[in-house]
Amino acid sequence: MFTRIVSFLPSATEILYLLGSEEQLLGVTHQCNFPSQVKNKPQVIKSAFDSESMTSVEIEEKIQELSRLQKGYFIVDFEMINQMHPDLIISQGLCEVCSPHIKETEKVLRYLDEKPQTLVLDPHNVEDVLQNIIDVAKAVEKKTHGNQICDALAKRIESIKIAEKSNTPKVICLEWFDPFYICGHWVPQMVEIAGGINGISLTGERSRKMGFSEIVEFDPDILILLPCGFDLGRIVGEYESLSHNNQWNSLRAVRTDMVFAVDALSYFSRPSPRIITGIEILAKIFNPQSFSNLITPSNSYLRMKKK
């Protein structure tokens, strides 16, 4: 069993706490913020820039600049990790921007005196997210507990799938809106499980930049705003500029007040067990009457009515 773990991945950190293995977790990143107790853990990786004080377009420009200059998005405290003597590092191979990537792990391995094993998680759909729970559970020799967690989550998914739904809306989920990005990976599947018809992107595909004409052509009934890593308050603040865009206001979903902001950071952006809550949030948005008894977290979504 691995007893000295460093996690470069917020979703893996969340799983370790869910398994009751937080004592084995020695170091985390600046992005690891759930549950709240994790903030007391030493941060071995931080961002190369302060995205919290930047707008969407400023973040996009900064990422493009760092990419052009071939500079990293993260600052790694190699010496702190070395002093922890980890026997396992958990990282991800999904996105170089969202969280520390395999590249950062390889740099750390070259630096460390003692070479730990690595666990690289690379989820692309809901099933992969559940499998990640099993993978982490195996690493801490809690496979039975991991299976129990997955079974409970799978039952919640199934209850949404089999529920009678009166509405099957056409849906577009936007991962960024300055510029526009369409959601990929597990989000299209989340939409479909919740009873919607996902627009433009496919499950497992990477999120990508998109043209406004693609939104117009699909003509969604519902628009979901879930900028990567943003909480509800930040999305509402960013929406102010978008709400003054005449093209945006011409969309049918905007005219009919069917634009919803969701807490992307907590329930959509990260491939953590909480994406199941994200599915439940979408189900409630798509069919509020069918899921009137479904309890979702407060401040998890908000209808954005036009001014």
- Domain spans, the chain: 5-151, 169-303
Location of structure tokens 């491939």:
271
Structure confidence by residue, pLDDT tens digits, 75-107 = 899 999 999 999 999 998 776 666 566 778 888
Q: Which of 51, 150, 159 is nearest to 97 (CA)?
A: 51
| Lowest-confidence segment of 84-88, 243-247, 275-279, 280-284 by average pLDDT | 243-247
CA dihedral 259, 263, 265, 268 (to 10 degrees): -70
Judged by phi (left if over 0) then psi (alpha if -120 to 50, else beta), residue 143 lies in: alpha
- What is the average per-residue pLDDT within 127-140? 97
Asked if residues 286 and 222 have their Cβ atoms less than 8 Å apart, the reply is yes
Structure confidence by residue, pLDDT tens digits, 286-305 = 999 999 999 999 999 999 98
Structure tokens at 270: 């990260």
The yes-or-no answer to whether 5-151 and 169-303 have a common fold is yes
Q: Which has the higher per-residue pLDDT, 55 or 301?
A: 301
What is the rounded distance in angstroms from the CA atom of residue 138 to the CA atom of residue 133? 9
Structure tokens at 61: 């420009």
CATH number assigned to the domain covering 5-151: 3.40.50.1980
Superfamily of domain 169-303: Nitrogenase molybdenum iron protein domain (3.40.50.1980)
Structure confidence by residue, pLDDT tens digits, 13-42 = 999 999 999 999 999 999 999 999 999 999
Give the predicted TM-score (pTM) of the model.
Answer: 0.93
